[in-house]
Amino acid sequence: MLQRPDRGYFPVAFVDDNSAKLGHRIHGVPILGTTEEIPRLVQRQAVDEIVIAIPSANSKALRKIFEYCRMSSADAKALPHIADIIAGRVTISHIRKVSIEDLLGREPVDVNLDQISGYIANRCVLVTGAGGSIGSELCRQIAEYKPFKLILVDHDENAIFSISEELSSTNAEVEALSLVLDVLNYPAIENVFSQYKPDVVFHAAAHTHVPLMEHQAVEAVRNNVQGTLNIVRLSREYGVARLVNISTDKAVEPVNVMGMTKRVGELIVHASNADGDTTYASVRFGNVLGSAGSVIPTFKAQIENGGPVTVTDPNMERYFMTIPEAVQLVIQTGAFAGRGETFVLDMGKPVRIAKLAEDIIRLSGFKPGEDIDIVYTGTRPGEKLTEKLHWEGKESIATTSHPKIMAVRNDTEMSSEDIFRRVNELISVASEQKEEQALKMLQELAGHSLNVALPGKKRQGV
């Protein structure tokens, strides 16, 4: 900053919580106080901007500092995370606004590189839903472990083109094959399995928007249930070593169509361990920060339009993870997954959506309730106030060798044969576009498997 005053930055003071540093100067700039004194110093020194230059700080520390910054009239900015800058020198151009990911993100995930490389390196890996938020990040991270071949499958041409172009520039040495295919197109997907014989499959293709699926039970069943069954069957038939199915916390005590279909998807994976040599597993986690259609991009768009920011209920809570963190744990889970198991990722503490909205408004440079209003609209069909990561009283949790991954014991009352029989009946009804019958069968299958009564046809947010 001192060398390039033309960039518009002039340092007037440091703050540091190490009392031994107070009163000293760095390059002539005084250390005037602690982070707690930020509001007072901002006023006294006529500060316009605060730069948080602690790229290795965890989210708890950043949130504390940001709270002090928020109490002042200055804008708060930050240096990138250390992982983003270790490869090169930081310049003024790297200074950016504090993001919600900074405040909600958690400690970096520790993964066992040897375990992961052992089942991905020099293997053929297939990712369904490769163009989506989770699928595309799976492709990015898998490519780092140098598979022999990476096959990307998605029905969205533009999405898969985007991740394909990115991989060709960042991991050109990895042979990536991008295919515009639908998991419901069994002959086309079977051709992929028969031709390339993947060793590992990550199944991320799914419809995930709760309100949309509430009115399209048939479509949800076809994509989320039949699509999963197709991938599971082909994995067994063509000798896939490992299949990892991406599930959701909404599969726990499901009250919406999307959650019910994902619950049935877990049952399919669970039932598949009865025969064959394939290792099957499901990984269950909650919301991911910044994923397509999620709440954070929606809030940001509303703020850009001048508000209001809409929140369904002041008590609504959700679990959040960053996309890279969730995917790192998914890949690690694949390394030690057992047969037919369901795994739950440590999501930390749930976040109140109203508080999240307030933070995003402040991070955007506005004051909640003054510059940008928050309006409560009521819960939407199929929404719960809180989500759970396991079914209390019906599922038991066990630790694994990774502190952020837990195994769920699925106490289903049905045999594998019964599960597949009922799944096939459900798919048959859905293929005939019998919406009400498909919804009823879906409710019974998703709930009966754990002997829990589900809401009737007119489901309400709990």
Q: What's the rounded Cα separation, in Å, for the pair 184 and 228?
A: 9
Nearest residue to 57 via CA among 103, 11, 109: 103
CA distances from 132 to 98, 135, 139, 197, 444 (A): 26, 5, 10, 23, 30
Task: Estimate the crossing angle of helix 257-271 against helix 416-431, to 10 degrees.
Answer: 140
Contact 304, 117 (CB under 8 A): no
Q: What's the rounded Cα separation, in Å, for the pair 119 and 242?
A: 9
Beta carbons within 10 angstroms of residue 88's beta carbon: 8
Q: What's the rounded Cα separation, in Å, for the pair 372 and 352?
A: 18
Cα angle 450-394-325, degrees, rounded to a multiple of 5: 105
For residue 154, the cross-strand partners are: 180
Residues near 104 by beta carbon (within 8 Å), at least 6 away in sequence: 59, 289, 320, 322, 351, 356
Nearest residue to 22 via CA among 2, 3, 41: 41
- For residue 308, the SS3 value is coil
Q: What's the rounded Cα separation, in Å, for the pair 183 and 227?
A: 5
Nearest residue to 279 via CA among 337, 196, 335, 203: 337
| Residue in the block written with tokens 């916390």 | 249
- For residue 210, the SS3 value is helix
**Active-site annotation holds for 250:** yes
Among residues 149, 250, 384, 440, the one annotated as catalytic is 250
Strands 25-26 and 29-33 come out as: antiparallel
Phi, psi of 359 (to 5 degrees): -65, -40
Q: What's the rounded Cα separation, in Å, for the pair 318 and 206?
A: 20
Q: What's the rounded Cα separation, in Å, for the pair 131 and 137?
A: 9
Beta carbons within 10 angstroms of residue 18's beta carbon: 8
For residue 128, the cross-strand partners are: 153, 203
Residues with catalytic annotation?
250
